[in-house]
Structure 1
Amino acid sequence: MRPRAQSAHGRSFGNLAQLYDDVRPSYPDAAINLMPMNWKDAQVCDLGAGTGVLSRLLLDRGSQVIAVDPDEAALANNPARSLIGSAEDTGLPTDCADVVTVAQAWHWFDETRAAAEIARILKPGGHLLILINQLDVRIAWVLRLSRIMHAGDVYRPAYRPGPAGFDLVDHALVEFTTPVTVDGIVDLARTRSYWLRSNEVTRARVESNLYDYFSLDHPVSGELDLPYLCLAYVLRSAA
């Protein structure tokens, strides 16, 4: 996808802000705790913060959070102080953050420009925490579900983010599940970028295929536990 188109898709989630909050999983404590610090009173920039799935958890830990995102509609659901901006141009002052967090958004950024901007707003020796929730496609039925949804989730165990000017100091893979109904999985598909950029015919086909899958191939009654992985990476500014 071209950078401009990629950026546009990354800004489209605010149209479904409440649905996104309702069906997207939160981030496990073990992933957040990978950061070697006390979150209380920490100055945190939650970058690509969207509706605030991570922002809420950081506020609960006592952090001073500023949520930055280009999507004004998404930020309207975010309880943190907010600022319209991008990863490449946050609008924040230099050396203002102890930590920059990026949850479910790193793949939308221009990595070179974002790394330079993050390094600028971090205090010397500050940290960058990247969190990525994805379906646990190591499990056969979840892999099939991912393909029906066109989720694009691919498990790459060797992947490590390597933005210029940062050193990777720790990483972890945290397994977790979230309870969901089949209707909830269809709603989850509606928050994916494939759905958002598809026409009504394609959306109807995906919805039908999901209901068929859970009635015929993988029958479900009531709720099921949907397996996820949270990939967590802690990086320190080399400046």
Structure 2
Amino acid sequence: MVRPRAQAVHGRGFGAQAATYDQVRPDYPAAAIDLAVDGWADGWAGLQVCDLGAGTGILSRELGERGSHVLAVDPDAAALEHNPADGLIGTAEDTGAETDRFDIVTVAQAWHWFDEDRAAAEISRILRPGGRLLILINQLDVRIDWVLRLSRIMHAGDVYRPQYRPRPGRGLDLIDHRLVEFATPLDGDGIVDLARTRSYWLRSNAATRSRVESNLREYLSTEHPITGAVDLPYMCLAYLLEHTAS
């Protein structure tokens, strides 16, 4: 288990692999993103959105293209340099943003890095009454045997069960959820690069990294051989919460 202080440090290390991260990490499926504006006639157009833990901007780009005004908040300055949205160095627990500023807060691939109670209090502060929080989690579809084996070799520990439901309190009530299956094409080298973007890899020494890469290449050449690009199965867990506090 990673202690909270170490967890915070590891959560700020992805900028070192920013280019690789953008190349091999998948986008978020439209059906998951648009859960946030379900029932809103104008969709994303003109909304004030805080993309929290925004990193290199995989989600920020999508939100901007939908016509929303995006502020990307992240503690990793190197990652924010790659993010096309306006950036603000801050954390989920202390964003530095104004009170009641946002219609929507999005958290993509970052919820597990947060102190949930403190982050919920901060999100409630910066959301307008009736505003929404969208949590997105892309993860390998470990319901499939060969993908489960792959994730174990990678030490992909960021795995939530589909039954998981965030219940942070602080006036944030879960109102909807969705599981979206999708796939992204990667070849063997791309899968190795994917492992290089994992927190386990980033905090490991050279010997551990070499062992993980060797085990991956062995698996993809003998146990589950692949040729060229394959569709790597994912599932996106999407959770929609509403700010109900007055």
The answer, yes or no, to whether TM exceeds 0.5 is: yes
Q: Which residue of 1 aligns with 2:110?
A: 105
Separation of aligned partners in 1, 2:153 and 2:182: 21
Deviation of 1:157 after TM superposition, in Å, equals 2.5
Letter in 2 for 1:13: F
Deviation of 1:2 after TM superposition, in Å, equals 1.2
Q: Which runs of 5+ in 2 are unaligned?
A: none
Is this contact kept in 2: 1:176–1:228, CA < 8 A? yes
Q: Which residue of 1 aligns with 2:19?
A: 18
- Per the alignment, in what secondary structure is the counterpart of residue 139 of structure 2? strand
Distance 1:84 1:153, change over 3 A: closer
Q: Deviations over 1:23-67 (max 9, x none)?
A: 100000000111223101100000000000000000000000000
Q: Deviations over 1:175-224 (max 9, x none)?
A: 00000000000000000000001010000000011110011011111110
- Per the alignment, in what secondary structure is the counterpart of residue 179 of structure 2? strand
Separation of aligned partners in 1, 2:235 and 2:157: 14
Separation of aligned partners in 2, 1:139 and 1:153: 16
- Per the alignment, in what secondary structure is the counterpart of residue 184 of structure 2? strand
- After superposition, residues 1-239 of structure 1 pair within 5 angstroms as 1-35=2-36, 36=38, 37=40, 38-164=43-169, 165-239=171-245
Moved over 6 A (4+): none
What TM-score, normalized to structure 1? 0.99
Aligned residues: 239
Letter in 2 for 1:178: T
Identity over aligned residues, as a percent?
72
Deviation of 1:156 after TM superposition, in Å, equals 1.2
- Per the alignment, in what secondary structure is the counterpart of residue 228 of structure 2? coil
What TM-score, normalized to structure 2? 0.96
Letter in 2 for 1:195: W
C-alpha RMSD of matched pairs (Å): 0.7
Separation of aligned partners in 2, 1:224 and 1:180: 6
